[in-house]
Structure 1
């Protein structure tokens, strides 16, 4: 039996970072995968002024390549203004950043996609937006409301196992070339504790697709004062690919944690 999975993300590259393996696995197993992205990421970081010029267009082209690598059947761009990485603000008469919009408007547009696709599963982020980005928090609000409007039966909050992140950061401290790139305490208040998770999805057989999708987002390998997440993941030595990228995590809204973590994002539907 096949299902339709709609993944809702804030910016190009988010889909590959948090759910790339899951999307690739679902597509490879014969399910329809639809990617909805709220913004073009035009206010994101970039290497220099020449890269920042036209960054949104460049990131959308990268998104198309990443979606193709993951096997997505459709990409929907909502086209809202990127809120940037600082506290979002808006000026009188200027565009309102995605994070500051009333969630009702974007939710209605997303619900229309869910209805059109007859979506069985919607992925969003946890209520904290993972690491707290305002656009990610808004994706949670908008996605939850859209699922209610459309009657989508399963809503999965894409996140990361916070406990595992801490262990990986400590391990990286002793690996030449990776030491001091990620402070061990960086993830203390990010993402989701293991005790609150419902799914741990094995995507090791789809690491090639996930890595290809990450590599498509070349604009996101530079810029800023510290190493970017995409660049860091692409630099991982082969022995660390499985431990770091081989599983993806979710919390299913309304599903109590019972027993072992589930490996199938469609388990509730089955």
Structure 2
């Protein structure tokens, strides 16, 4: 709680369930600690409790103008199960406006994916999914869901934005490796950069967007959408609660 400003502590304490309070506290503390860690790379010293955020109409958080001008950091977060994914991108603090979204999804056997397809997936996405062998269709469903959520989160519009207004295709994929590091070991995770985005009902230019997709393990996959025509070089780092709070 000491890592958070007073108003955020009040928000957490208003949550009814202890489990929800614990998760909200961890998410907010992780974000603030890591923001401070990355800011120090550029000789900016902001303590975790000093970060201030602004929120879009649908609740998307961004740094307040003062903190963004000091650091140029864009961020987005997503959590599922015991995983929290935070994506950071540092651009020009004055000239460069970037839209950034990240999503992590867990494959769930209980989800009736076929009842959802017609409501939220485009004809292109549905056709490609159903063309796969049946044992691969559920995995493709959650892969696409992570991609679509990452784009919606980047736009900051939530479900006010139609999921049928854009499509992702995953054929002819080209894979590259990105290293994940933690305190004890390094390991590689497959990152797929061969995914294309098509926009059907938008003034956006799909060529001005880059998308990245990867898997943490058999159950979990994540996606990042960013409004840059060329995909950045991403560095991924795995941090445990013990290691991240040691940075505070």
TM-score, length-normalised on structure 2?
0.31
- Tell which structure's C-alpha radius of gyration is larger: 2
The structure with higher relative contact order (CA 8 Å, sep 6+) is: 1
Higher helix content, 1 or 2: 1
